[in-house]
Amino acid sequence: MATAAGTPSTSALETLCLNTIRGLTIDATEKANSGHPGLPLGAAAMGYALWTRHLRHNPKNPAWFNRDRFVLSAGHGSMLLYSLLYLTGYELPLEQIKLFRQLHSMTPGHPENHITPGVEMATGPLGQGISTSVGMAIAERHLANRYNRPGHEIIDHFTFGICSDGDLMEGISAEASSLAGHLKLGKIVFLYDDNHVSLDGPTKMAFTEDVGKRYQAYGWHVQHVDGMDVEAVDQAIIAGKAEKERPSLICCRTIIGYGSPHKAGTSKAHGSPLGPEEAKLTKEALGIPLEPTFYVDSSALDFYRQAVPRGEKLEADWNDRLAGYASAFPGEAGELKRWIAGEPGEEWVAELPKFAEKVATRQASAAAINAVAAKLPNFIGGSADLSESTKTMQEGLGDFEPGSPTGKNIWFGVREHGMLAAVNGMNLHGGVRGYGGTFLVFSDYCRGSIRLSALMGTPSIFVFTHDSIGMGEDGPTHQPVEHVMSLRAMPNMNVMRPCDGNETSACWKVALQTRKNPCSLVLSRQGLPALSPEFVGAHPAERGAYVLAPADGDDACCLVATGSEVQVAVGARLLLQAAGVPTRVVSMPSWFLFEAQEESYRAAVLPRGLATVSVEAGATLGWDRYAQAHVGVDRFGLSAPGELAMRELGITAEHVAEVARELLAR
């Protein structure tokens, strides 16, 4: 069988090793009657070269901190990854390979890090893998810069990956790759499975750009090799690792569905199993036994399993080095270990500010960030070219740039989607806590990454400012309407929209203490009066909702509001009480937190049967859960000073009081 460019220099054992991946792939997709065999068949040599000759990992401890990261950006080729995990000795038995894509198996259709040991992240949505990897490399560099000392290279690993043409067609990868080139993240080495085929057919139907030249334009080190040739791939990885200044893209020309007599090199091998007859022919062509299925040659397995002792030694050596480092630099080592464990202490809580004055919650957020920044050395992040507006900068703590090794502020550029993927990568990497900010309306641009953080349970912190029509003159393209509710609809996402400075401190406290889910902080552009209790290390907002102002007398009405509309509800309460309607105001910064409270608390805050009006300057869809009448914005906004826009669309105390009276009159 011909390779893309000549005969590969593979030994018999090597062929067995490659064919083991291929045989498992064929059988797993056939048995599941679903899946993508083409990539693992074509990219086996790439995976083999990387995993047996370069990847420094410990299959017996997938959490070993200084491991090289490996990200299969082309997640549809999951059988390549599952094969390598099983073969190199991770806790993924062959039985699980046989359950590929079945209910509750450890081998879902696309890789999921929360399910399968050794999977670094969930991939499948194209472009996320390579983009998230950029964040992993940022975390590695930050930690290396902060903790390494001469003779003590404690943090020192590569971020490897395999990506596909689809990954590189996606805009998110363009954003992240441009950023990686700018940041000179030389420890990224990605192999591009350049098989000239996508699901719709040959890539030449839609993708004729010069990918290598594009990556050179980004500042990457680019090589072109025969991806079917283990030695060629190996040499290219060596060169890629040796290149310290530039991230590396190794364009590997491969044959999708390699070995399949009738489907290799075509889209027929991409997204569906080969089919029983073609599977048989492919095995015959490759020299793989037809029976038993899921055949693993013992010599191949033995070879792959050398990863186990090698990995144990790698980790043991590192532990020795860490011990030496701890002797020489006990303070640094202690700090590093706490951050690796995800336990950076609680000292910073006392630093969070309290507020007595009117302040925009984005400004309160800036105060909170800057109050804790010095106590949280590995809390790093930035904004998508809106740092002056999102107020996400850590003042005086430097820029994260190639020439400034210890800076904490990352300048992401106008790259929202790539930014939040990178933030996810930082938080997946661990040892750091990453955040990113943009306008709430542009959460639309990064929803792919936001969702993935929620699915993976990654504790990313997203700072979304300019959170309603109240942001004013920039107009409807910049005024979020449906965004808060759309984010609430996402499973596992804690959306927090504080009403003032003190609630903002509380929300930052919650966000920084969160371990298993992302948080979206939704903040105002405009100043908001101090209405809630002072933040004194704790605040009732941490329960998601609470009675901010009780009714004077037996409750006749409840106004439940969030963010900048709490002040509107407070104003309406005065009007209603003046008219003899005892009214409570509930501030509800987080549905997510509130819905985690016990029923008795929830019923006490929002009693069933009490006439309730929701007040939020956004889509009313969803508020029926808590209120029988609504004041909101179910249309696009308009360009005008923020207060006028609010008034024009009925976000006023008078209108809220009117809606409440109508509700009571029903």
Kindly report the backbone phi and psi dihedral angles of residue 250, in degrees, each rounded to the nearest multiple of 5, phi listed first: -105, 110
What number of other Cβ atoms are within 10 A of residue 579's Cβ? 11
Alpha helix (H) residue ranges in 435-529: 447-456, 483-488, 501-513
Interior CA angle at 160 toward 53 and 16, to 5°? Answer: 40
Catalytic residue among 14, 112, 332, 416: 416
CA distance 269 to 526: 55
In this structure, is the dihedral angle defined by the CA atoms of residues 19, 25, 28 and 34, taken in order, positive or negative?
A: negative
Q: How would DSSP label each residue in 612-652?
A: EEEE-SS--TTGGGT-SEEE---S---SS-HHHHHHHTT-S
CB closer to its own copies out of 627 and 653: 627
Report the distance separating Cα 324 and Cα 231, nearest Å. Answer: 37
Q: 182 vs 337, which CB is nearer to its own copies?
A: 182
Measured from the CB of residue 49, what is the shortest distance to its own copies in angstroms? 26
| CB of residue 613 to its own copies, shortest distance in Å | 15
CB of 601 to its own copies, least distance (A): 20
Distance of CA 83 to the CA centre of its chain: 25
* DSSP code, position 68: P
Coil, helix or strand for 23? helix
Judged by beta carbon, residue 441 or residue 659, the one nearer its own copies is 441
Looking at beta carbons only, is 209 or 534 nearer to its own copies? 209
CA distance 439 to 90: 42
Q: Which H or E run contains 30? A: helix 12-32
Q: Among residues 8 and 637, whose Cβ is nearest to its own copies?
A: 637
418 versus 540: smaller Cβ distance to its own copies: 418
Assess contact for 31 and 23: CB atoms under 8 A.
no
**Distance between CA atoms of 340 and 528, rounded to whole angstroms?**
38
Min dist CB 609 to its own copies, Å, is 13
Judging by beta carbons within 10 Å of its beta carbon (0-12, 13-18, 19+), is residue 492 exposed, middle or buried?
middle
**Is 343 among the residues known to form the active site?**
no
Query: Residue 1 in contact with residue 285, Cβ under 8 Å?
Result: yes
Q: Could you tell me which of 74, 73, 93 has the C-alpha nearest to residue 82?
A: 93
410's tokens: 């990352």
What minimum distance in Å lies between the beta carbon of 493 and its own copies?
A: 9
Q: Report the nearest approach of its own copies to the CB of residue 388 (Å).
A: 6
Which CB atom, from 310 or from 447, has the smaller least distance to its own copies?
447
CB closer to its own copies out of 103 and 578:
103
Minimum distance, C-beta of residue 347 to its own copies, in the bound complex (Å): 31
**Please, what is the minimum distance in Å from the beta carbon of residue 234 to its own copies?**
27
CA separation (Å) from 153 to 328, 416, 577, 599?
A: 13, 33, 67, 52
In the chain, what is the greatest distance between 2 CA atoms, to the nearest angstrom?
A: 90
8 A C-beta contact, residue 292 and residue 302: no
Type of residue found at 152: H
User: Which residue has 């805009």 as its token pair?
Assistant: 171
Angle, alpha carbons 605-610-613 (nearest 5°): 85
- Report DSSP letters for 295-363, one per residue: ---HHHHHHHHTHHHHHHHHHHHHHHHHHHHHHH-HHHHHHHHHHHTT---SGGGGGS----S-EEHHH
Smallest separation (angstroms) from its own copies to the CB of 156: 26
User: Is the bond into 108 cis (omega within 30 degrees of 0)?
Assistant: no
Residue in 59, 64, 176 with CA at minimum distance from that of residue 431: 64
User: What 3-state class would DSSP assign to 472?
Assistant: coil
Find the shortest distance in angstroms from Cβ 424 to its own copies. 13
Minimum CB distance to its own copies, residue 590 (Å): 14
Place of tokens 């040991």: 117
| Complex with its own copies: residue 11 or 208, whichever CB lies closer | 208
Name the residues annotated as catalytic: 416
